[in-house]
Structure 1
Amino acid sequence: MSAALHCAPSALDTPGRRRRPLGVARMQVVNLPVQVGLPWLILGLAFAVNLVIFALVPDAPPGEPKVTGGILSIYMFVVVAHLVTMTQVFPFALGLSVTRRDFFTGTSLFILAQSAVQGLLLTLLLGLEQATGGWGQELHFFGVPFLVQQNWVLQWVVYTVPFLFFSFVGILAGTIYARFGQLGMWITSVGLVLLGGTAAILLTWQRAWPAVGRFFVDTPTSVLLAGYPAVLAALAAGAAYLLLRRAAP
Structure 2
Amino acid sequence: MSRVLAATRVQLISWPAMVSWPWGILASSFLINLAVFALIADEMPDDPRTGGLVSIYVVVMIGAAQTITQFFPFSLGLSLTRRTFYAATSLLLVAESLVFGVLLYLCSLAERATDGWGLSLGFFVMPFMQNDNPLAQILIFTVPFIVLGYIGMFAALVLKRWGVGGLYLLSIVLLLLLGLLAVLVTWQHWWPAVGRWFADQSALALFAGWPALLALLLAGAGQLLMRRTTA
Runs of 4+ that moved beyond 2 A: 31-37, 58-61
Q: After TM superposition, list the pairs within 5 Å mapping 1:80-229 onto structure 2.
A: 80-229=62-211
CA RMSD of aligned residues (A): 1.4
Partner of 1:47: 30
Q: CA deviation at 1:35?
A: 3.2
Assess if the C-alpha contact under 8 Å between 1:65 and 1:138 holds in 2. Answer: yes
Q: Which residue of 2 aligns with 1:5?
A: none
CA distance in 1, matches of 2:152, 2:18: 11
Structure 1: 5+ residue stretches without partners: 1-13
Secondary structure of the residue aligned to 1:247 is coil
Shift of 1:91: 0.9
User: 2:18 — aligned with what?
Assistant: 35
Match in the other structure for 1:56: 39
Quote the Cα distance in structure 1 between the aligned partners of 2:18 and 2:186.
Answer: 39
Q: Please give the TM-score of this superposition, normalised by the length of structure 1.
A: 0.89
Contact kept? 2:143, 2:212, Cα under 8 Å: yes
Q: Is the 8 A contact 1:171 1:240 kept in 2?
A: yes
SS in 1 for 2:228: coil
Distance, in Å, in 1 between the alignment partners of 2:118 and 2:213 is 38
Tell me which residue corresponds to 2:55. 73
Contact 1:35 1:82 in 2 (8 A): no
Q: Distance in 2 between matches of 1:117 and 1:244?
A: 26
Distance in 1, matches of 2:58 and 2:112, equals 25
Q: By how many angstroms is 1:59 displaced?
A: 4.6
Q: Partners in 1 of 2:91 and 2:180 — Cα distance?
A: 36
Contact 2:61 2:145 in 1 (8 A): no
Whether the 8 Å contact between 1:75 and 1:166 is mirrored in structure 2 is: yes
Give the TM-score taking structure 2 as reference length.
0.95
How many angstroms does 1:181 deviate by?
Answer: 1.5
Query: Deviation string for 1:134-171 (max 9, x for gaps)?
Result: 11111110001111110111110110111111111111
Question: Aligned partners of 1:245 and 1:30: how far apart in 2?
Answer: 25
Structure 1 counterpart of 2:36, one-letter code:
I
Kept after mapping to 2: 8 A contact 1:162/1:226? yes
Higher relative contact order (CA 8 A, sep 6+): 2
CA shift for structure 1 position 126: 0.4
Counterpart mapping for 1:10-29 below 5 A? 20-29=3-12
Deviation of the 1:32 alpha carbon: 2.4
Q: How many angstroms apart in 1 are the aligned matches of 2:18 and 2:197? A: 34
Match of 1:4 in 2: none
Residue 158 of structure 1 contacts residue 222 of structure 1 at CA under 8 Å; is this kept in 2? yes
SS at match of 2:206: helix
For structure 2, which runs of at least 5 residues remain unmatched after alignment? none
- Does structure 2 retain, via aligned residues, the 8 Å contact 1:43–1:71? yes
Quote the sequence identity (%).
Answer: 45
